[in-house]
A and B are shown apart, each in its own frame.
Chain A
Amino acid sequence: MWHKFNNMNVENVKSQMRKGVLEYCILLILSKHEAYVSDIIQSLKEAKLLVVEGTLYPLLTRLKNDELLSYSWKESSQGPPRKYYNLTEQGTLFLGELENSWNELNETIHSIKTKE
């Protein structure tokens, strides 16, 4: 029983970590070039950050509502037009801040790990 609970706890922490960096990763992907949802999904899945795709949609809409992202419709050679997301100016600033805190976190973890 205890063992099971422990396992669940591990999963929970892991998913919390993923959640924490998901927004950061989306902004990172979009900082390189604009992308439509399937591209973003592809990249995130390759990085094993996304378990189910449904997570992404409310997130993208929220980021858009916070004016960190914007999108434009582009025609596609196959099927209907696609929504291409790109970073706004505000989004770039936001990403910079996230980058800083990520580096700080990394350093902290690194220093804790290497500390005797």
Chain B
Amino acid sequence: MKKTLTINLANTVYNIDEDAYQMLQDYFERLRVHFRTEKDADEIMTDIEARFSELFTERLRYGMQVISLKEVQETILIMGNPSDFEQPHEESTHEETVKEESATTEQENTTKKIQKRLYRDIDNSYISGVASGLSQYLNIDVVFVRLFFVLLIFLGFGTIIPIYIVCWIVIPEAKTSAQKLEMRGEEPTIENIKNFVKENVERVADKTEKELKSERTRNFFQQIAEGIISLTRGIAKIAMALIGGFFGCLGFVILLSLVGVLAFSLPFLFSGFSSQFMPYGTNIYIEGINMGALSMYPQFVMALLLFIGIPLGAIAHAIFQKLFNWKRTSTMAGWILVIVWLISFGVTIYYGLHYASEIFLLNNPTI
């Protein structure tokens, strides 16, 4: 069984096997390099593509539906490799090959460095690839990034854990080859992607070979070490899931209370009168200081809850999205939430200051 692709060759649609497509793509790329000095190189390419289309149609006449590697090989043989082309105006064949070689090295050198983008490197991930993605972005060895994270936790900066989780959710993973190249800061041209894929295939082959070898030669201590590593990895994953769940629950509770506050305080917002749920006299005392009643400042409470609730809700949503494969929310909704969050931030500060002075007055009636 093979995966097929649909291609448009000179305005005709063909189904083509993936490997055959790769070969064809490769061939056209070589032709393009060969003809690049030619005037009207595009026209030559279009004509050649038209001829390929014709030859494919000839080969598909007998009920075959898909272009396979065999057909592509045959057609390329008919069309010939650039080195076989006879050029009436060329000076010498030797010079041409030299030119060709310099052209290819030129092309390899165009592995241009472009603006890097931060992605999670899921291929080299330990938990979620945040650290390895950061190491790619900052050009540091991933070991140092991980050590730094762990050190922070041991030094008591536990806040790194929620930060890590936020990074996990916010930073997209590098899924496609193009994204992986962007992560490394290389331009995602066809040539680069090809090199990258080739490199990766070799690496994976290497890895499996190594693993097969190590399977045989592992001794007792190595086995213990590996056991400990996989155990800690498992524990780390469970811990992550627990923390994620905690944030999810917290976000959910805050969302609920936000709805509750809305129900309680809406009457106040519009009327300024007390509601039967929040009678005026239910003042809250914290360590003997009269904080007044929450119902006295519904705007503040609402803004505060939005200010805390939106990020937590977003985290909860992202976790549920991951867990239950929810559909991705639109960026529009995200921006609206960010704007609401910023507004709630401003309102929180404004009313916070406002009510702080009122509470101060409340507790110092003599002034």
Say yes or no: is B168 at the interface (Cβ < 8 Å to chain A): no
- Segment with Cβ contacts to B, from A47-55, A91-99, A102-110: A47-55
Given contacts A54-B31, A54-B85, contact A61 B57 (CB under 8 A): no
Nearest-CB distance from A105 to chain B (Å)?
16
Nearest-CB distance from A62 to chain B (Å)?
8
Q: Considering the complex, give the chain A residue whose CB is closest to the CB of B84.
A: A52
State the CA gap A57–B88 with chains docked (Å): 12
CB contacts (< 8 Å) of A55 on chain B: these are 80, 84-87
Q: Find out whether the CB atom of B40 lies under 8 angstroms from the CB atom of A61.
A: yes
State the CA gap A22–B80 with chains docked (Å): 17
Task: Give the A interface residue count (CB, 8 A).
Answer: 27
Q: Considering the complex, give the chain B residue whose CB is closest to the CB of A53.
A: B79
Q: Find out whether the CB atom of A37 lies under 8 angstroms from the CB atom of B47.
A: yes
- Checking B11, B80, B86 against A19 with a beta-carbon cut-off of 8 angstroms, the contacting residue is B86
State the CA gap A68–B39 with chains docked (Å): 16
Q: Find out whether the CB atom of A79 lies under 8 angstroms from the CB atom of B54.
A: yes
State the CA gap A53–B52 with chains docked (Å): 11
- Checking A12, A57, A82 against B44 with a beta-carbon cut-off of 8 angstroms, the contacting residue is A57
CB contacts (< 8 Å) of A78 on chain B: these are 57
CB contacts (< 8 Å) of A15 on chain B: these are 86
Nearest-CB distance from B94 to chain A (Å)?
11
Given contacts A52-B81, A58-B38, contact A37 B86 (CB under 8 A): no
Say yes or no: is A10 at the interface (Cβ < 8 Å to chain B): no
Nearest-CB distance from A11 to chain B (Å)?
11
Say yes or no: is B78 at the interface (Cβ < 8 Å to chain A): yes
Nearest-CB distance from B85 to chain A (Å)?
5
Given contacts A80-B10, A80-B12, contact A57 B84 (CB under 8 A): no
Q: Considering the complex, give the chain B residue whose CB is closest to the CB of A16.
A: B86
State the CA gap A22–B11 with chains docked (Å): 30
Mask of B110-129 contacts with A, CB within 8 angstroms, 1/0:
00000000000000000000
Given contacts A38-B51, A78-B57, contact A61 B38 (CB under 8 A): yes
Q: Find out whether the CB atom of B80 lies under 8 angstroms from the CB atom of A20.
A: no
Interface centre among A12, A37, A52, A59 (most CB of B within 10 A): A52
Say yes or no: is B48 at the interface (Cβ < 8 Å to chain A): yes
Nearest-CB distance from B75 to chain A (Å)?
9
Q: Find out whether the CB atom of A60 lies under 8 angstroms from the CB atom of B86.
A: no
Q: Considering the complex, give the chain A residue whose CB is closest to the CB of B78.
A: A53
Say yes or no: is B295 at the interface (Cβ < 8 Å to chain A): no
Say yes or no: is A100 at the interface (Cβ < 8 Å to chain B): no
Given contacts A52-B78, A65-B39, contact A60 B31 (CB under 8 A): no
Q: Find out whether the CB atom of A54 lies under 8 angstroms from the CB atom of B48.
A: yes
Q: Find out whether the CB atom of B79 lies under 8 angstroms from the CB atom of A20.
A: no
State the CA gap A61–B87 with chains docked (Å): 13
CB contacts (< 8 Å) of B88 on chain A: these are 19-20, 22-23, 59
Q: Find out whether the CB atom of B48 lies under 8 angstroms from the CB atom of A18.
A: no
- Checking B12, B51, B87 against A37 with a beta-carbon cut-off of 8 angstroms, the contacting residue is B51
State the CA gap A78–B58 with chains docked (Å): 11
CB contacts (< 8 Å) of B50 on chain A: these are 37, 80, 82-83
Q: Find out whether the CB atom of A79 lies under 8 angstroms from the CB atom of B85.
A: no
CB contacts (< 8 Å) of A60 on chain B: these are 47
Query: A residues near B, CB below 8 A?
Result: 12, 15, 18-20, 22-23, 37-38, 51-55, 57-62, 64-65, 78-80, 82-83
Can you name 20 extra interface pairs (CB under 8 A) apart from A22-B88, A57-B47? A12-B93, A18-B86, A37-B47, A37-B50, A51-B80, A52-B79, A52-B81, A52-B85, A54-B48, A54-B85, A57-B48, A57-B51, A58-B35, A58-B87, A61-B38, A61-B43, A61-B47, A65-B39, A65-B40, A82-B50
Q: List 28 A-B contacts (CB under 8 A).
A: A15-B86, A18-B86, A19-B87, A19-B88, A37-B47, A37-B50, A38-B51, A51-B86, A52-B80, A52-B81, A53-B78, A54-B80, A54-B82, A54-B85, A55-B84, A55-B85, A55-B87, A57-B44, A58-B35, A58-B85, A59-B88, A61-B44, A61-B47, A64-B40, A65-B39, A80-B10, A80-B50, A80-B53
- Report, nearest first, the 5 A-B pairs whose CB atoms are least far apart: A52-B80, A54-B80, A19-B88, A54-B79, A55-B85
Query: B residues near A, CB below 8 A?
Result: 10-12, 31, 35, 38-40, 43-44, 47-48, 50-51, 53-54, 57, 78-82, 84-89, 93
